[in-house]
């Protein structure tokens, strides 16, 4: 990312020295592009941009973020003579499509892969990546098990099943009157199901009794029956875990059936969702990986660049994830001074203090970006940083 480029060059010098680079910038003196890089660096982008609306909306946002990063990388001549070329494939929220796309990208010998919207599709395709060692950044996968699939695989978005539950417990500590909880979650999304299980385990461990558990799928248009069953149990808190495409449906219908319990909701609430369901989400809280109010990392610059060059809508966490994922790969390539898979993987593993919309990040030993969660709440139809003493205090 251009704001972090100088800091990462120092990392690149160290990595390249270990790999045999022969100048003080961490690049070799030969090659067609910047210091030994090819003129064109190809990146495969397999994402679900069609299929169920709740998934396709996420994949489309991720793709827009990747495209935005590619535009910025090329417009700023980040590679000093080399350019990024995207090989985009719609994987249609289907495992076989994901496997087919990955085989295609591997056969093309792309320099890297930045993509995957659904964890099951990724895990089905991952063996092909692991076999050849293509440097890969999983964009928005929030379920566990991603980086374990191969030594060249990184993840930008954290495992939210390890981030959201501790946030829920923190909320409970500020809401001592909560004694019972009901849960509703999207059962056809691996990430949502995993997060739900972790949330329920943490909340029960905190001493809150479970009185109901309901499910729905991304193709459902009516979840009133499930929400009515929850309402009949009169829980103190309703813990909802839908993907973004189902959020408006769940929250509006919860209000419609008369649920007035405290809401613990899912992350990644967009402006569009707030515009449609913000009143129904009053005082809802959640822990998010990213929010537009943050001034950490280069989030301000990212949002400005999106406003100038992105689609005509507000950026979402998935736009930010796509953008940060491609930039992370690009920084790794520049630090390595090469598109050699092993060298890029090594260089990416060494990145630290990299400015991103998620704050200054690096990668942990298991190649997961060390993104810290932020607690937020909905107040009068808008997102705000959570204030346990504010207007929504219980």
- Residue 91 · residue 98 · CB < 8 Å: yes
CA distance 347 to 334: 9
Model pLDDT, residue 35: 58
Residues 6+ apart with CB under 8 A from 259: 227, 230, 231, 238
DSSP string across 75-117: HTTTTSS-EEEEEEEE-TT-HHHHHHHHHHHHHTT-SEEEE-S
Q: Is the pLDDT of residue 120 over 70?
A: yes
- Residue 116 · residue 94 · CB < 8 Å: no
Q: What average pLDDT does range 146-164 have in this prediction?
A: 92
Model pLDDT, residue 394: 75
Mean pLDDT (the chain) is: 90
Q: Where are the alpha helices (DSSP H) in the chain?
A: 5-19, 53-75, 95-107, 119-132, 164-173, 190-205, 224-232, 244-256, 271-277, 299-309, 317-336, 341-350
- Domains, in order of start, for the chain: 5-158+293-361 (3.40.50.2300), 161-288+374-385 (3.40.50.2300)
CA distance 68 to 58: 15
Q: Is the pLDDT of residue 145 over 80?
A: yes
Model pLDDT, residue 374: 85
Q: Is the pLDDT of residue 5 over 80?
A: no
CB burial string 336-361: b at 16+ within 10 A, e below: bbbbbbebbbbbbbbbeebbbbbbeb
Only one residue has tokens 């009516």, namely 222
CA distance 58 to 28: 39
First to last CA, the chain: 42
Q: Is the pLDDT of residue 4 over 90?
A: no
pLDDT by residue (tens digit) across 219-234? 999 999 999 999 999 9
Model pLDDT, residue 36: 83
């Amino acid at each position: 990312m251009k704001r972090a480029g100088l800091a990462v060059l120092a990392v690149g010098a160290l990595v390249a020295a270990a790999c045999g680079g022969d100048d003080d910038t961490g690049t070799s003196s030969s090659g067609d592009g910047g210091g030994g890089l090819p003129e064109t660096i190809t990146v495969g982008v397999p994402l679900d941009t069609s299929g169920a609306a709740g998934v396709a909306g996420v994949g489309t946002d991720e793709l827009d973020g990747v495209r935005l990063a590619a535009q910025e990388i090329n417009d700023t001549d980040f590679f000093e003579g080399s350019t990024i070329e995207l090989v985009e494939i719609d994987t249609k929220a289907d495992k076989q499509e994901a496997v087919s796309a990955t085989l295609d990208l591997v056969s093309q010998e792309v320099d890297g892969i930045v993509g995957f919207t659904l964890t099951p599709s990724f895990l089905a395709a991952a063996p092909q990546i692991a076999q050849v060692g293509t440097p890969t950044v999983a964009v928005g996968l929030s379920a566990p098990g991603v980086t374990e699939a191969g030594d060249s695989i990184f993840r930008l978005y954290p495992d939210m099943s390890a981030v959201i539950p501790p946030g829920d417990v923190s909320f409970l500590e500020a809401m001592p009157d909560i004694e019972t909880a009901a849960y509703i979650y999207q059962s056809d999304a691996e990430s949502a199901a995993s997060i739900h299980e972790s949330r329920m385990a943490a909340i029960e461990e905190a001493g809150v009794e479970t009185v109901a558990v309901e499910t729905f799928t991304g193709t459902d248009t009516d979840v009133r029956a499930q929400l009515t069953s929850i309402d009949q149990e009169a829980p103190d808190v309703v813990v909802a875990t839908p993907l973004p495409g189902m959020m408006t449906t769940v929250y509006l219908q919860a209000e419609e059936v008369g649920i007035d319990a405290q809401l613990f909701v899912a992350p990644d609430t967009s402006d569009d969702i707030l515009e449609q369901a913000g009143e129904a989400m009053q005082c809802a809280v959640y822990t998010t990986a990213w929010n537009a109010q943050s001034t950490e990392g280069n989030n301000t610059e990212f949002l400005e660049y999106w406003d100038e060059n992105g689609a005509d809508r507000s950026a979402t966490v998935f736009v930010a994830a796509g953008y940060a994922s491609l930039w992370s790969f690009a920084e790794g390539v520049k630090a390595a001074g090469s598109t050699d898979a092993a060298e890029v993987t090594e260089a990416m593993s060494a990145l630290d203090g990299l400015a991103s919309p998620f704050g200054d990040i690096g990668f942990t030993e298991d190649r997961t970006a060390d993104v810290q969660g932020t607690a937020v709440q909905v107040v009068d139809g808008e997102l705000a940083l959570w204030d346990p003493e504010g207007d929504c205090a219980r």
